Amino acid sequence: MKDIKLKRNMKYYFNKKTSGTFDDAVQRVTEGLSKEGFGVLTEIDVKATLKKKLGEDFYNYKILGACNPPYAHKALLEEDKIGTMLPCNVIVQERKPGKIEVSAINPLASMRSIKNKGIHDIAFEIASKLKKVVKEL
């Protein structure tokens, strides 16, 4: 792997705006993740949770907890506490009807504090895959 320079002002996410229905966007994201070797371990419906727990109305917002098992395994072998930073979250939100925004964690930014080149190499690979998923929406 090449030596990775971690930029100081690196954004902690990748994002893209798109249009269509919210459910279609969630499905397209899930399919894109699958093509890159990710499964969705968790799906948190923030809108439903805020309504149930607080009685608050909120816009469509889902958090997808994505995991790429081979890379997760490599990361766990490198750093046994890395599970605190797994899975990789991807959000799909619809603040206005038909206006969808998808954002994915940038693992290079989130792993910056870990002083382990092996983790940085893995983060680079995962960042490339997540960026591709978002870009291809």
Summarize pLDDT for 29-58 with one digit per residue, the tens: 999 999 999 999 999 999 999 999 999 999
| Residue 68 within a domain | yes
What percent of the chain has pLDDT above 90?
90
**Domain hosting residue 120, numbered range:** 14-135
Three-class SS state of 42: strand
* Residue in 45, 11, 13 with CA at minimum distance from that of residue 26: 45
Reported as type and span, the H/E element at residue 90 is strand 88-96
Q: CA quadruple 16, 48, 32, 66: dihedral positive or negative?
A: positive
| Residue 1 within a domain | no
Q: What is the pTM assigned to this prediction?
A: 0.91
The reported pLDDT for the residue numbered 4 is 47
Three-class SS state of 115: coil
| Residue 5 within a domain | no
| Residue 9 within a domain | no
The reported pLDDT for the residue numbered 1 is 40
Scan for tokens 């309504």, then name that residue. 51
Task: At 91, give phi and psi (nearest 5°).
Answer: -110, 145
Task: Return the CATH number at 77.
Answer: 3.30.310.70
The reported pLDDT for the residue numbered 123 is 96
The reported pLDDT for the residue numbered 8 is 63
**Position 5 confidence tier, pLDDT thresholds 50, 70, 90:** low
**Position 83 confidence tier, pLDDT thresholds 50, 70, 90:** very high
| Residue 118 within a domain | yes
The reported pLDDT for the residue numbered 112 is 87
| Alpha-carbon distance values, 109 to 44, 52, 96, 123 (Å) | 23, 33, 29, 9
| Residue 6 within a domain | no
Which one-letter DSSP state was computed for residue 83? G
Number of domains in the chain: 1
Res. 80: pLDDT tops 90: yes
User: Which residues face 105 on adjacent strands?
Assistant: 13
The reported pLDDT for the residue numbered 33 is 98
**Using CA atoms, how far apart are residues 107 and 119, in angstroms rounded to an integer?**
10
Res. 100: pLDDT tops 90: yes
